[in-house]
Amino acid sequence: MNKRFVLSVVALLLCACLLAGCGSAAAPAAPAQEDPAPAAEAAPETEPASEAAPEPEAAPEPEAAPEIDASLPVRVYTLNGTTGFGMAGLIAEAAEGGAALNYSFSVESDPSVVTAALVNGDCDIAALPTNAASALYNKTGGKVQVLALNTRGVLYVLTDGSVQVESLEDLAGQTVYAPAQNPSFILEALCRARGVELTIDNSYAQPAELNAAVAAGEVGLAVLPEPMVTVACAQNKALTVALDLSAEWDAVMEPGSLVQGCVAVRREFAEAHGAELACFLEEYGRSVALLGEDAQAAAQKIEQAGIFANAAVAAKAIPRCNVCFVTGEDMQRQLSVFLQTMFETAPQSIGGGVPGDDFYYIAP
């Protein structure tokens, strides 16, 4: 029984070995798995292509300059003397056929003739005293405008040495002869501002009359305008220029605001002929500039135009004539100060009132 038991155990072990071998053959080892393929990287997001930049807009074509009517009659009046000096070059240019406009010129010695022509429409543009332009504005209800300043202060104190004058204060208590109207009003305003009391004598109401009296030695202390200062000094060697009233004015008033001459225009003409007016201002500005560039040539043109009789005297006087060309806002600022001062001194001299802003022509 022990033998039979042993045999049974051996048989069982053999069967178990056989079964184990068969199980190994039936289930071969699974092949090694390959690493899974890496996931494809997501393509980076790209910004959508920007839209093409729009073509830059072409710059607008500049507006064509207004066409000028070269055949339009432009009637210009000017006073002789310093107020007209700046017009001489343009008068010569027109006579030679070089001006752009169809000008006609009248040179007058009496301001009333010029102002009357502006009022009745015989004149379109005129060179005249600033106070006269203001008076016309007030008289006509604003039918006259000022275009440009053309003359600053031209007044000087002359003495024959009988009175020592080195400052305005030296005139205190003296009798000073001066032409009537503007020269006297300017002297009065200046002395009032400086606190100087004196007597202003208008016995020689016209500048030419006073010039003759000074040159003859009949008057020893006087205020005269250029170019009569130069004339008087040439005829009477005892005379000296003691004071420049422009310098005295600038010491107590706004510098540059002593403005005695201007160019004015009829408002109706200005509103109807803006292009032609701009052309005139350009040509007139060049004409004024000639005085500073070549006084001798300018003086010849002044004599030829009948604005002053003696070219040699005109050339000598030009540096003290303070001819200028001022337009726009600078013109308005300087002239308004002067007219306000004249209104406070002699309101009738500027027509009884200070003109409004529409008195000043400001180019569009």
Q: What is the CATH number of the domain that holds 242?
A: 3.40.190.10
Does residue 257 have a pLDDT over 90? yes
311-333 average pLDDT score = 97
Convert the pLDDT of each residue in 37-68 to its tens digit. 444 444 444 444 445 555 656 666 666 667 89
pLDDT of residue 21: 42
pLDDT of residue 60: 64
The answer on 170 and 111 residing in a single domain is: no
Supply the angle between the helices 182-194 and 328-345 in degrees, to the nearest 10.
80
What is the reported pTM?
A: 0.80
pLDDT of residue 39: 41
Cβ-based neighbours of 260, under 8 Å, separated by 6 or more: 82, 83, 129, 130, 151, 152, 153, 154, 155, 182, 186, 225
CA distance 39 to 19: 44
| 299, part of any domain | yes
The answer on 272 and 340 residing in a single domain is: yes
The answer on 127 and 242 residing in a single domain is: no
CA distance 83 to 149: 10
pLDDT of residue 364: 82
Average pLDDT score, the chain: 87
Among 66-70, 122-126, 153-157, the range scoring the smallest mean pLDDT is 66-70
The answer on 246 and 164 residing in a single domain is: yes
Higher per-residue confidence, 59 vs 84 = 84
Does residue 343 have a pLDDT over 50? yes
Total domains in the fold of the chain = 2
Secondary structure in 3-state letters for the chain: CHHHHHHHHHHHHHHHHHHHHHHHHHCCCCCCCCCCCCCCCCCCCCCCCCCCCCCCCCCCCCCCCCCCCCCCEEEEEEECCHHHHCCHHHHHHHHCCCCCCEEEEEEECCHHHHHHHHHHCCCCEEEEEHHHHHHHHHHHCCCEEEEEEEEECCEEEEECCCCCCCCHHHHCCCEEECCCCHHHHHHHHHHHHHCCCCEEECCCCCHHHHHHHHHCCCCCEEEEECCHHHHHHHHCCCCEEEEEHHHHHHHHCCCCCCEEEEEEEEHHHHHHCHHHHHHHHHHHHHHHHHHHHCHHHHHHHHHHHCCCCCHHHHHHHHHHCCEEEECHHHHHHHHHHHHHHHHHHCHHHHCCCCCCHHHECCCC
| 65, part of any domain | no
121-129 average pLDDT score = 97
| 91, part of any domain | yes
pLDDT of residue 37: 42
Q: Are 266 and 144 in contact (CB under 8 A)?
A: yes
Q: How far is CA 279 from CA 130, 183, 273, in A?
A: 22, 33, 10
Q: Choose the final residue of a domain: 252, 276, 300.
A: 252
The answer on 307 and 173 residing in a single domain is: no
Cβ-based neighbours of 274, under 8 Å, separated by 6 or more: 66, 363, 364
The answer on 87 and 135 residing in a single domain is: yes
Does residue 102 have a pLDDT over 80? yes
Does residue 247 have a pLDDT over 90? yes
160-168 average pLDDT score = 95
pLDDT of residue 18: 35
The answer on 281 and 199 residing in a single domain is: no
The answer on 243 and 175 residing in a single domain is: yes
Does residue 168 have a pLDDT over 60? yes
Distance of CA 40 to the CA centre of its chain: 76
Higher per-residue confidence, 118 vs 25 = 118
Does residue 126 have a pLDDT over 50? yes
Q: Choose the final residue of a domain: 252, 280, 308.
A: 252
186-194 average pLDDT score = 96
| 265, part of any domain | yes
The answer on 202 and 325 residing in a single domain is: no
Higher per-residue confidence, 219 vs 65 = 219
Cβ-based neighbours of 233, under 8 Å, separated by 6 or more: 158, 239, 240, 241
The answer on 143 and 263 residing in a single domain is: yes
Residue range(s) defining the domain that contains residue 264: 73-153+258-352
Q: In the chain, what percentage of residues exceed pLDDT 90? A: 81
Q: Choose the final residue of a domain: 235, 252, 269.
A: 252
The answer on 227 and 270 residing in a single domain is: no
Q: How far is CA 136 from CA 128, 133, 310, 323, 334, in A?
A: 11, 5, 31, 22, 19
The answer on 311 and 175 residing in a single domain is: no
Q: Give the Cα-Cα-Cα angle 328, 119, 226 (nearest 5 degrees).
A: 60
pLDDT of residue 64: 61
User: Hey, which residues does 156 pair with through a beta bridge?
Assistant: 224, 244
Q: In the chain, what percentage of residues exceed pLDDT 70? A: 82
Does residue 25 have a pLDDT over 60? no
